[in-house]
Amino acid sequence: MLWFLSAIGSALVFGLAGLFMKISQMRSGSAGSLLLGLYTAGTLGFWGQALLNHHWTPLDWRIWIAGAIVGLGSAWGNLLFMKALDYGPASLTSPLTNANILLVIAMGAIWYGEPLQPIAAVGVVCLLFAVLLAIRNEGSYAVKSSRWYGLVLLAMLLFFFRNGGLKVTDALGLDNTNVLWSGYLLSWLWFAVSSRKEASGSRSDAESRSSVRAGSRAEPKAKSRAGADVSAGASPARTGFLWGLVAGVCSYGGLQLYASALGEGPSHLVAPIFATNGLVVALGSVLLYRERLTVLQWGAFAFLMLGLVLVRI
């Protein structure tokens, strides 16, 4: 089935977006600049897709209302996700925020009356179990602060506005590419203003520090050379923006595939498959940063594969 392949592709591609966000954080990239880059690439991607489909409808007021709701869930969900990464590991944060699929599944079954076949139901349970195993805390995966739990819970609820909202807009007959375009554009405007204020504040702080240094005694030459070497490196804003562009391309691709799968397949099957994108982040962290893969996470991947097979049957 085409929807099944689209759902798997959405999980893989969207998972890469989360991994690139983690890489940016590990390289001290600015979170605001990263999200600005993400929504820059995403907005252009969805706009280009709408033009290619000959279905760009910027004058439809329903698109802007739906885009505002979906965009709110996406923008603030990603912002809280990035903040949560400061207090807990990505291998826990990403799968747990994807627990919003429970709400999507419930909405599909109760609101839209989507039937759930017994074998497919077992597959859904396996996929959910894979996500639950992935968020289990073991050894080096300790959470740094209790604030992490609140951030993850809020991010999970906001992501439901994005993922569940796309199901609602599809049922209403709206073109989800246009909805995502408007949502990403509104999010881009938000982070553009936010990044400008952040940059202005950074410049003011830098000027203040320069004034203080100018009135103080000269530093030793060796120390000055060291400072010059540091300033020569890529700034946090530049690092975040570049990785954000890459993440934005994957975010566009993943959500476009997800929207396509929702349009052709049942949400109570598409949503659990899409939610496994968090395991891509976990595996990437293991490969790139040599994080130890726990027995529970190996079990998560096993249940993931079993769940995909059963859902497909």
pLDDT for 202 equals 58
pLDDT band at 203 (very low <50, low <70, confident <90, very high): low
pLDDT band at 291 (very low <50, low <70, confident <90, very high): low
Average pLDDT over residues 162-167: 90
User: Residue 87 class from Cβ within 10 Å (0-12 exposed, 13-18 middle, 19+ buried)?
Assistant: middle
- The secondary structure of residue 152, as a DSSP letter, is H
Distances (CA, A) of 92 to 10, 194, 308: 20, 28, 21
pLDDT for 140 equals 46
pLDDT for 123 equals 81
pLDDT for 14 equals 93
Average pLDDT over residues 236-263: 93
- Tens digits of per-residue pLDDT, 96-126? 787 787 788 788 878 888 777 788 788 888 8
Mean pLDDT of all residues belonging to the chain: 82
Joined together, the tokens standing for residue 5 give 């392949």
- Higher-pLDDT residue of 206 and 19 is 19
pLDDT for 226 equals 40
Place of tokens 């395991």: 279
pLDDT band at 154 (very low <50, low <70, confident <90, very high): very high
Joined together, the tokens standing for residue 217 give 């005694």
pLDDT above 60: residue 267: yes
pLDDT for 205 equals 54
pLDDT for 33 equals 92
pLDDT for 230 equals 38
Average pLDDT over residues 169-197: 91
Choose among 192, 174, 133: nearest CA to 262: 174
Amino acid at 28: S
| Highest mean predicted confidence (pLDDT) among 32-46, 141-155, 211-225, 227-241 | 32-46
What is the distance between the alpha carbons of residues 228 and 72, in angstroms, rounded to a whole number? 41
For the chain, which residues make up each domain, given as ranges? 2-195+238-312
Q: Is 175 helix (H, G, I), strand (E, B) or coil?
A: coil
pLDDT above 90: residue 263: no
What is the distance between the alpha carbons of residues 282 and 189, in angstroms, rounded to a whole number? 31
pLDDT above 90: residue 92: no
pLDDT for 227 equals 43
- Tens digits of per-residue pLDDT, 64-87? 999 999 999 999 999 999 898 888
pLDDT for 243 equals 95
Amino acid at 76: W
Joined together, the tokens standing for residue 103 give 């709400």
- Higher-pLDDT residue of 95 and 35 is 35
∠ CA 101-160-265, nearest 5°, is 55
- Tens digits of per-residue pLDDT, 14-36? 999 999 998 998 898 998 899 99
Long-range CB pairs of 283-291 (<8 Å, 24+ gap) are 284/15, 284/16, 284/19, 284/22, 285/19, 285/22, 285/89, 285/90, 285/91, 286/91, 288/19, 288/23, 289/26, 291/89, 291/91, 291/140
